[in-house]
Chain A
């Protein structure tokens, strides 16, 4: 029994059921049932087993065909019981016998369906992980640290939301990419590594669709993921980029990311994921932190700012400017960011400071030699931090400077 194989087959099996006329929500349930059945009856070793009598096909020779057969039967069992029985049975008559699985792959449509704009981001993520990723509700619930019943409801709600959506509608690639990036950023908890899962799904998407931004996102994920082992110390604390042990970076992942990125950039249809990946690649390229090509990174941030006009991007640009042209220049870039965000922040009741702004300001002041201001800003940044590792890191920075000032 190969769980990775099962999960990789999930979207195409689901797609086939929907193509045959099954309602998406019912089809999705049926595929989950078939996966459970497969786990139960598929032989565990490499040799065929006599126990595999459940489907019409040999699971060894044709795992996909086996899954389609079993899922279709589960779907029929379920729908026969309800009011739609007549219609469903008529439908079966019209359908070709569930033989070898058709070559047409509906994976792409599933991605679009699961990232439908009518869904909230969290629903889209949950539905994608289940329908495209083949994860069980329990695994998804564990990854998000919510009760299984809550996640089951979130998924069935999402399924109801999209059940009326036509399967052939072209979707919005940008929405799909955003959902995949959300999955990637959730990181790791429970028994499923969501970052690895996001990479797997993005690979699958990249194989199904020729789009430079899909390639850009895949490259970005690979480049970030390559640094993961070096990003945290054994005690779980954050290790900043400049202090990371570059020997622990996954060079194979970096090489693959760079290659994918270069092919995408050659298409000359720049998007924000390609630009972000280019920045990540420049970091990954430097043998030491000191050899980082900050001038080129600033240029890519300029591109990124043009594409997104996000205050976070301009904040990161200020960091890069600080490295390329010195802390004073970085602080000047930060000041211009403050002016423009003050202008755009009219009428909101809740003053919305740019996340990590204080941390960046603290770092630049420290490099400029103003330790008192830097310590105060690090403490302020720690209070604003939204995750534990970052808050602890910033608190340590403030404590380090305060200790130095007392000496």
Chain B
């Protein structure tokens, strides 16, 4: 068993095949897209492979330590950054092949025209916290 993070990007990933911004879709197409992802998560819960999934707002900020009591906040590092994460799902699957299979399925969520987006998803294995017995 291994956990994988499936990362969706607003920006930073290669352009999907069906590359129409979401605000150009019809409301029904958006609903269908959301429904697809909810169904996907529900199905993975049934197979015992779902761990977590969250969507992220595009707003955000960078914060860092800058001396006692005044952490500076810069809004929108996103103008310069190449990458922006839209959301994630964590799955717990038996194999690398299964993780790739599921990511492929998630990438087929419908977009404009009801056609699959063919969105690129980043698939990252988790580092396990516990060492195995091998020495």
Contacts and interface: CB of A to CB of B under 8 A. Distances in A.
A353 to B, nearest CB: 13
B127 A386 contact: yes
**Candidate in A121, A126, A241, A386 with the most chain B CB atoms within 10 angstroms:** A386
A125 B92 CA distance: 14
A167 interface: no
A150 B131 contact: no
Contacts of A356: 134
Given A224-B133, A386-B125, A120 B94 contact: yes
Interface of B: 1-3, 44-52, 92-94, 96, 125, 127-135
A151 interface: yes
What 10 A-B pairs are tightest by C-beta distance, nearest first?
A: A154-B48, A187-B130, A387-B128, A389-B131, A224-B133, A241-B135, A122-B1, A388-B127, A120-B94, A153-B48
A185 B130 CA distance: 9
A253 to B, nearest CB: 13
Contacts of B127: 385-388, 391
Given A153-B47, A154-B47, A386-B125, A147 B52 contact: yes
| Majority-rule SS of A interface residues | helix
Interface of A: 120-123, 125-126, 144-147, 149-151, 153-155, 157, 184-189, 224, 227, 231-232, 238, 240-241, 283, 350, 356, 385-391
Contact of A153 (B45, B133, B135): B45
Given A153-B46, A388-B127, 5 more contacts: A121-B94, A126-B48, A153-B45, A224-B133, A386-B2
B128 A386 contact: yes
Contacts of A121: 1, 94
A145 B131 CA distance: 15
Contact of A187 (B1, B94, B131): B131
B94 A157 contact: no
Contacts of B96: 350
Contact of B130 (A122, A126, A155, A387): A387
A159 to B, nearest CB: 12
A283 B133 CA distance: 14
Contacts of B94: 120-122
A231 B135 contact: yes
A356 B132 CA distance: 12
A156 to B, nearest CB: 9
A11 to B, nearest CB: 22
Given A187-B130, A388-B127, A150 B135 contact: no
B45 A144 contact: no
24 contacts: A120-B94, A121-B1, A122-B48, A122-B94, A144-B92, A146-B92, A147-B52, A150-B45, A150-B49, A150-B50, A153-B46, A155-B48, A157-B46, A185-B132, A185-B133, A186-B130, A188-B130, A283-B135, A350-B96, A387-B129, A387-B130, A387-B131, A389-B131, A390-B131
Contacts of B2: 386
A350 B44 CA distance: 26
